[in-house]
Structure 1
Amino acid sequence: MSIWVLLAVLFAALLHATWNALIKVGASKMTSMLIMTLVQGAAGLAIALTRAFPTGEVWLWLLASGLFHSAYRLFLVYAYEQGDLSRVYPIARGAAPMLVLVISAVLLSDVIAGLEYLGILVLGLGILLMAQGVFRSHESAKLVPLALGSAAMTAGYSLVDGLGARAAGDAVTYVAWLFALDAVFFTPIFLALRGRSALTASRQTWVMGSLAAMASYGAYAIVVWAMTLAPIALVTALRETSILFAVMIGWLFFGEKMGVQKAAAAGLIVLGVVITRL
């Protein structure tokens, strides 16, 4: 992995933590998620229509990805309704690279070096240590299976999108159609669960959702592009450094506590990034 791809993925991690924070602070997290999805979908469709139409095989990857992404959003929203950003986020993001690593090593042709495996494992250890506080702080136990469900969906769409973007040969077009289809899948799910509440959302909610959409679109476009140039498992693991950014956002802006355990976990995450560069 080149230094430029590394820096791009780290920037994507910051963007990812930012849009999660914007969704978390929303009065209605589900409505904020829908607004983000609709804005992304409109932007994706506008970009997609200016580019070459995908071939038949690529549509299979896109449809599978749309389903994974919609399920991921549902799990994440319900998890945020149960717990804090600094607790839900580490669990939701932490298990994904472990799942991707195992699947990539067994089923895909990506070659991961020994130090890169070690770096991914150190990242995972830091993430698990970060998430352990959910039990010590007596938060709702419901957030754990919901966050793990989000992680499983993340692993699913990471693998699908990495392979799909490679099949498409154009990450920009692939991501554009992905977000357009994501809006098509997620909107009816929202309407079935919450009705037309998004139509009466406040101006502030629409602004926050739109900002989250821009951060999310940029973050995932960078990640899918990186997956076309570097091993999927490695890109996915480095993206999880967004946990460090999420903890900082929670501490500085949400007033969440920064204990020794969180600091140690953040240190392990940084160490994991360094090891992957050796």
Structure 2
Amino acid sequence: MDTTVFLAVIAAAALHAGWNALLKIGLDRFLTATLIQIGAGLVALCGLPLVAMPAAAAWPWIALSALLHIGYNVFLSRAYQYGDLGQVYPIARGSSPLFVALLSLLLLHDSLGTGQWLGLLTLVLGIWLMAMRGGHGKAPPPALLFCALMTALFIAGYTLSDALGARANGDALSYSLWLFAVNGVVMGVVLAVTRGPRAFLQLGGHWRGGLAGGAMSMAAYSIVIWAMTQAPVALVSALRETSVLFAVLLGAVLLKEPLRPIRLIACAVITASVVLMKLA
């Protein structure tokens, strides 16, 4: 992987962990997730006049991705009801690279070298090592595992959809901005249907956090979408999951979640996987 792409994806990982920390802080996780998606949509809307309309071939992928993002937000917010940031986030994010790697071989014909596969598998091992003993030293309950793994499936789905869409469009920035604009509208409709129009009144006092989290979310994933047009999707997908390192750090510093020795070991394993993927 080119060094510029490599460093860009690492930066995206840090941004992604940041907005997930905002999600955990919210009293109502679904409302907070929706607020961030709407915030991202508003930020994207400001950039639409600067980019071209997506190609016709890209619109089905934008629509599919928007639907998959609904499931992602629903199950992610539910997972946070059963566990802390340092446990939910690693399971949800760390399980998707294997799904993406296998499916991208079939759908995108992206191939990885032996060293890259070794780095990817080492990353997944480190993430699961981090997740299997949560902040309180206990194994994750079944409800948390189910919601987190469902989140991982939706992550894999929209990752592949967006890789195909961005490649079909030929312009990653245009695809990304229109995707987030559509996502914001879709999540607003979902909120209105599931919670009623009055739910928007609850968001009003948190608009600054919503815009900040939305901007971080949009910037992080826009970088990833661009990177997937420059490098194998499986490799980009795996590398962005180094965000778990930033998530654990944010959980320890901002949310006072305990940082146990097993997590420090897992961080070392994940770091080693990054080196393997870069050198392969």
TM-score (norm 1): 0.95
Paired with 1:139 and 1:158, the residues of 2 have a C-alpha distance of 26
Identity across matched positions, percent: 42
Question: CA-atom RMSD, angstroms?
Answer: 1.6
Distance apart, 1:140 and its partner CA? 4.4
- Map of 1:186 onto structure 2: 187
SS in 2 for 1:127: helix
- Map of 2:90 onto structure 1: 90
Distance apart, 1:36 and its partner CA? 1.2
The answer (yes or no) to whether the contact 1:85–1:246 under 8 Å persists in 2 is yes
Paired with 2:79 and 2:204, the residues of 1 have a C-alpha distance of 23
Paired with 1:177 and 1:240, the residues of 2 have a C-alpha distance of 24
Distance apart, 1:259 and its partner CA? 1.2
Q: Does 1:72 align with 2:76?
A: no
Paired with 2:204 and 2:39, the residues of 1 have a C-alpha distance of 16
The 1:198/1:244 distance shift into structure 2, 3 A limit, reads same
- Map of 2:17 onto structure 1: 17
Q: Does 1:197 align with 2:199?
A: yes
Paired with 2:50 and 2:93, the residues of 1 have a C-alpha distance of 33
Letter paired with 1:41: G
The answer (yes or no) to whether the contact 1:31–1:198 under 8 Å persists in 2 is no
- Map of 1:276 onto structure 2: 277
Paired with 2:9 and 2:181, the residues of 1 have a C-alpha distance of 23
TM-score (norm 2): 0.94
Moved more, 98-107 or 128-137: 128-137
SS in 1 for 2:50: coil
- Map of 2:241 onto structure 1: 240
- Map of 2:30 onto structure 1: 30
Unaligned runs of 5+ residues in structure 1 are none
Q: Does 1:141 align with 2:121?
A: no
Paired with 1:65 and 1:26, the residues of 2 have a C-alpha distance of 25
The answer (yes or no) to whether the contact 2:43–2:215 under 8 Å persists in 1 is no
Paired with 1:271 and 1:58, the residues of 2 have a C-alpha distance of 37
Letter paired with 2:180: F
When the two structures are aligned, how many residues end up with a matched partner?
277
Unaligned runs of 5+ residues in structure 2 are none
Distance apart, 1:99 and its partner CA? 0.3
Paired with 2:66 and 2:139, the residues of 1 have a C-alpha distance of 35
Q: Deviations over 1:138-188 (max 9, x none)?
A: 654312111111100000111111111111111111011111111222222
SS in 1 for 2:53: coil
The answer (yes or no) to whether the contact 1:26–1:208 under 8 Å persists in 2 is no
Distance apart, 1:100 and its partner CA? 0.5
Distance apart, 1:30 and its partner CA? 1.8
